[in-house]
A and B are shown apart, each in its own frame.
With several copies, the nearest count.
Chain A
Amino acid sequence: MKKFVNDPANFVPEFMAGVLAANADLLEGNLEFQMIKRKTIDASKVAIVQGSGSGHEPAHVMAVGPGMLTAACQGPVFAAPPVDACYETIKAAATDAGVLVLVNNYQGDRMAWDMACEMAEAEGIKLKQFIINDDVAVQDSLYTVGRRGVAGNFFVMKAAGAAAEAGADLDAVYAVAEKVNANVRTMGVALTSCIPPQKGDVIFDIGDDEMEVGVGIHGEPGRERTKIKPADDITKLLYDAVQSDLPFSSGDRVALMVNGLGGTPPAELYVVYNKAAKLAAETGLTIARNYVGEYCTAIEMAGVSLTMLKLDAELEELLAAPAETACRIF
């Protein structure tokens, strides 16, 4: 296992401690519950929380900050957070305006957040839950019934976060999340597996000349295992699956994301973006905003996912709104 890790059992608290140390001005944490929250929470605004297994950074605890999540918690690598962590996260974020609980569509996450929401509601916390399921690859998969929630999650957080920041009420913020989820589609491809630190070896075997098309962010099988192809062909595979699913059609303005799964370097992401932008132009789409980088990883898996979100004036404004998280360049 070639990783920067001490005792694998401490991997999650240690990386979270690093995130907190690096963002002491912006964030504070409660590591007893693997939780990170904004230092200042405006009680008059809707709070947004999310939390899932670790290994998808910057999702989810690194997506906390003004204009994004209010608080988030993480489970062990690839495992839903314990119920109490979810509950404490809701409690820590809760405002008078209520809490929007974003849940990626995985069995473990849904159960944990369901229980936490019940507990929080029983205490009088006002909340709504929203399930994200943007992955077009397969209808049912490991750990989920129905489509999986993957990188499109970023757009839900960003748009809902901006709406909350602007003072929208819980129903309105929920409606934004709903609109994004209804208009966002993703598919990914893996060239290699990844190694969860506590497992100590790869989660699946894949041949030196193979790729997994439609892979999940925990290495779940996708649509097919094929021979590896040139970047343009892979990009077309992803683009066609994503484009045809909504479908996105000529005249649409879209946000397009090329998300690295963790082990793919920046230059390769831009090779993919280069082709995706051409394909979008051929379909008659206008890429109003683009996102190239790591947004939702599968630890160090080599691979990418392609996400498209159909925009309207409201969503475009929400995506353009300022936001701040632990991810910074300068």
Chain B
Amino acid sequence: MSTLTIADVEQAIDITCDTVIRNEKYFSDLDGLAGDGDFGTSLATGFKVIKADLPTIDKSAVGAMLLKISMICSKHVGGSSGPIWGTGFMRAGMASKGMTEIDYATLVAMVGSALEGIMARGGAKRGDKTLLDALIPIHETMQAMDGSDLKAVLAAVAGVADKAIDETRNLVAHRGRASQVGERSANTPDPGIVGIATILNDWCKHYGVDFVPNAPELNR
């Protein structure tokens, strides 16, 4: 199977909820190293609502479901994460509007559309040490694969996100985490990237995809 049904997407989101909720404190602690320590709480606040509403929300189409999730982010997620994740889900939903099944090309387009939306929303570019530094190479990797084996795609993107943690660790943040942070940002990973990587790592575990992460943040 290389297409995804509404139920498949719903399940992936449900797993994501568990990951985000379970890591609330950890993600906030990571954000506290160089930021304000609200990333985990902001995200978990929203994903608790998503988890609760998921069984009953509009599932007439993948797009409809994702737009509803975007709206939950808009209502319940504060900080930068609200607009970023809300925009991501909104764009992914628009790219899958009306569809009850999505093929691989659509999936890649959804990721591409989400990251373009996030870039437009927040003005960040690659190398600014944000979750885009995971999403952009993930999208590139997906584009380079044919999608015939979705487990292989998952293993590949999980690896990309894993690598993004270490590759950006020593970057100076250009957006949201400026040079003034000085020692406070040195050697701290970006919590958004760790968030993406943790979600993908959990997906691997859940879907039985063999993947051994490298970053210490994924080996706790």
Interface residues of A (CB under 8 A from B): 53, 75-85, 87, 107-108, 111-112, 114-115, 138, 140-145, 196, 198-199, 203-204, 218-222
Give the nearest-CB partner of A77 in chain B: B38
**Residue pair B79, A203 in contact (C-beta under 8 Å):** no
B121 interfacial by beta-carbon distance below 8 Å: yes
Q: Considering the chains assembled together, what is the distance between the CA atoms of A78 and B41 in angstroms?
A: 12
Tell me whether B127 is interfacial, beta carbon within 8 Å: no
8 A Cβ contacts from B61-94 to A? 71, 73-80, 82-84, 86-87
Can you list 21 A-B contacts with CB-CB less than 8 angstroms, sorted by A residue number?
A: A53-B79, A76-B42, A76-B78, A82-B76, A83-B74, A107-B80, A108-B79, A111-B87, A112-B83, A140-B178, A141-B180, A142-B181, A143-B36, A145-B178, A198-B38, A199-B28, A199-B37, A199-B38, A203-B32, A220-B181, A221-B180
Contact yes or no, B175 A115, CB < 8 A: no
CB atoms of A196 and B79 under 8 A apart: no
In the complex formed, the residue of A with least CB distance to B38 is A79
Chain B interface, DSSP helix/strand/loop, else mixed: helix
Least distance between A122 CB and chain B CB atoms (Å): 13
Spell out B's residues near A (CB within 8 Å).
Answer: 28, 32, 34-38, 41-42, 45, 71, 73-80, 82-84, 86-87, 121-123, 174-182, 184
A221 to B181, Cβ gap below 8 A? yes
Given A82-B77, A199-B37: A112 in contact with B184 (beta carbons within 8 A): no
On whether A78 and B38 interact (CB within 8 A), knowing A107-B122, A115-B74, A140-B178, the answer reads yes
Q: Nearest chain-A residue to B185 (Cβ)? A: A142
User: Inside 8 A of B75's CB, which chain A residues have their CB?
Assistant: 82-85
Q: How far is the CA of A140 from the CA of B181 in the complex (A)?
A: 10
- Roughly how many angstroms separate A84 CA and B75 CA in the complex, as a whole number? 5
Known: A79-B79, A138-B180, A222-B180. A111 touches B121 (CB 8 A): yes
Q: Are B180 and A112 in contact (CB under 8 A)?
A: no
Report the minimum CB–CB distance from A119 to chain B (whole Å). Answer: 9
Given contacts A115-B83, A115-B86, contact A76 B38 (CB under 8 A): yes
Given contacts A76-B41, A82-B82, A142-B36, contact A115 B177 (CB under 8 A): no
Shortest distance from the beta carbon of A54 to any chain B beta carbon, whole Å: 9
Q: Which residue in chain A gives the minimum CB-CB distance to B70?
A: A83
Of the candidates A78, A81, A141, the one whose C-beta lies within 8 Å of that of B178 is A141
CB pair A111–B122 under 8 Å, yes or no, is: yes
